[in-house]
């Protein structure tokens, strides 16, 4: 473990369905209190879906700050009160992708 890195004492796992029509909050229905990090995993179909990430849900999807392909994950240092949003870039015939979100807290 890196020096100064926090250790999770509690976790909350949530499956979120993300569409290509609107930004979706990547957290549980009730965000984990005292959260310090969020892991996002794109469980979409290989080659058919990409997940755009942003802390600003008013931008267009092409301005996403990060992109996750199918099978990729990222850990973001997002405390309680800071919301990470996701929006899908979908292939033809696909309506939504499954995203698994794990919140880490004290």
User: Could you give the percent of the chain with pLDDT greater than 70?
Assistant: 95
Q: Which helix (H) or strand (E) holds 53?
A: strand 49-54
- 15: phi then psi, degrees, rounded to nearest 5: -95, 130
What local confidence, expressed as pLDDT, does residue 56 receive? 93
3-state helix, strand, coil in the chain (%, to 5): 5, 45, 50
Return the structure tokens found at 86.
């996701």
* Calpha distance 40→35 (Å, rounded): 14
What domains are there in the chain, each with its CATH number? 10-105 (2.60.120.10)
Whether residue 101 contacts residue 27, with contact meaning beta carbons closer than 8 Å, is answered with: yes
- Residue range 3-49, pLDDT digits in tens: 566 788 899 999 999 999 999 999 999 999 999 999 999 998 877 78
Whether residue 6 contacts residue 82, with contact meaning beta carbons closer than 8 Å, is answered with: no
Return the structure tokens found at 105.
């807290």
- Residue range 40-56, pLDDT digits in tens: 999 988 777 899 999 99
What local confidence, expressed as pLDDT, does residue 91 receive? 84
User: What integer best gives the mean pLDDT of the chain?
Assistant: 90
* Calpha distance 20→28 (Å, rounded): 19
């Amino acid at each position: 473990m890196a020096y100064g890195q926090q250790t999770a004492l509690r976790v909350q796992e949530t499956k979120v369905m993300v569409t290509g029509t609107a930004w979706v909050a990547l957290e549980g229905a009730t965000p984990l209190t005292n959260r310090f990090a969020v892991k996002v995993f794109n469980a979409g179909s290989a080659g058919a879906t990409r997940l755009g990430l942003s802390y600003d849900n008013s931008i267009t999807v092409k301005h996403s700050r990060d992109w996750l392909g199918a099978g990729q994950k990222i850990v973001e240092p997002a405390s309680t009160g800071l919301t990470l949003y996701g929006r899908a870039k979908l292939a033809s015939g696909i309506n939504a992708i499954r995203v698994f979100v794990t919140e880490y807290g004290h």
